[in-house]
Structure formats: structure tokens, C-alpha cells
Amino acid sequence: MNDSLPPRLPATERAELDAILAAGFICHLGVVVDGCPTVVPTVYGSDGRHLYLHGSAAGRGLVAASGAEVRVTVTHLDGPVLARPVSGHGVDHRSAMIYGTARPVTDPGEKLAGLRLLSEQCAPGQWDRARRPSRGEPAATSLLALSLAEASVKLRSGTPPHVAARAGAPVG
């Protein structure tokens, strides 16, 4: 694990990436399985340097992603955007795409820390209320780490250009 990864996003984009990741807990993992592109929804947690992805050790998507080049997306839909012309319709959203090679987490300490991040991302405080994983449970769980060094963010908000140009014209 490289803890000194250089930030490759400008500071404002990195702050937006961190905010997008902090606001959710479901992502979509894109990976090639048996020669076919596959997208798998899964739970994630982040420590600010890595995105940890969770799934069954028998799950084809996470097994195929282990050591492979992957893409992960996180999207938050903030609302519909309606314009006079249908071609101007859209969706206000915040999204992030993380690129890289998914590393299987095999170190027991890192795996436990990653599972805690996942738990806290989904339900803050749950780790302290729940029973800790038994000795055998982590073996049945696949945990992948993906560096946040390569990522992009996309934001869309505000009035559609068609509406702004014709302020006062009814939209819907």
C-alpha cells in the first residue's frame, strides 16, 4: 500500500471527489468477466486514499476484478432538469469515476479496517454496535482496494440554458 500517492486532481476537484464519496455507499464496479464487460453494484468505503469494495469471495465480478484494471462510478441524482425543448432535459447530478487496478486485500489488519470503513460508510456508528466478524467470516468476504489517485468528477446543476435564455417562459 502506497500512502504517499500524489494527488492528480486539482484541489477543488479532489474536494468534490471526497464529498461525492462521503455522500453515499453504493457504487458500480465495471470489470471484464469472461470477455464481457460487466457492471456490478456493490458497497464501498473510503479512507481518503483508497476505495474499498465489498462482496462475496465467490462473486464473479469481484473475483474477476482482483488484480484487474477496473472502473468504479458513484453517482448522486439531485433532481430532474426540465427545459422547453425535450432536447434540453437533463438531470442535476454529482458523479465520480475512479480508474485503476483493484488490489485484493489479504492483510488481516487492513481487511478488518476496510470492513470497518464499509460499515461506517453505510451506517455510521454500526461498527461499535455490531458483533465483530468471526474468524471465518473475513475469508468468505472479498475486499478490494482501489487507489483514488486516478479519478474524475462531473457535476451538473442549475437552470437549463434554454430556460436561462428565455427567463419567465413556462417550462413544464
* 135-154 confidence digits (pLDDT tens): 888 788 889 999 999 999 98
CA-based nearest residue to 116, from 128, 107, 106, 101: 128
Domain at 62, CATH number: 2.30.110.10
156 domain-assigned: yes
Residue 152, C-alpha cell as written in the block: 474524475
* 88-125 confidence digits (pLDDT tens): 788 888 999 999 999 999 998 999 999 999 999 999 99
150 domain-assigned: yes
95 domain-assigned: yes
104 domain-assigned: yes
Whole-prediction pTM value? 0.82
Number of structural domains the chain divides into: 1
116 domain-assigned: yes
2 domain-assigned: no
Residue 103 belongs to domain spanning: 11-126+138-165
170 domain-assigned: no
Which ranges of 89-157 would DSSP assign to H, the alpha helix? Answer: 108-122, 126-129
4 domain-assigned: no
Give CA angle at 153 (59, 110), nearest 5°. Answer: 45
Cα dihedral across residues 142, 148, 151, 155: positive or negative:
positive
CA-based nearest residue to 149, from 22, 8, 14: 8
Q: Are 27 and 74 in contact (CB under 8 A)?
A: yes
Please classify residue 120 by burial: count the beta carbons closer than 10 Å to its beta carbon, then call 0-12 exposed, 13-18 middle and 19+ buried. middle
* 55-86 confidence digits (pLDDT tens): 877 788 877 888 889 999 999 988 888 877 88
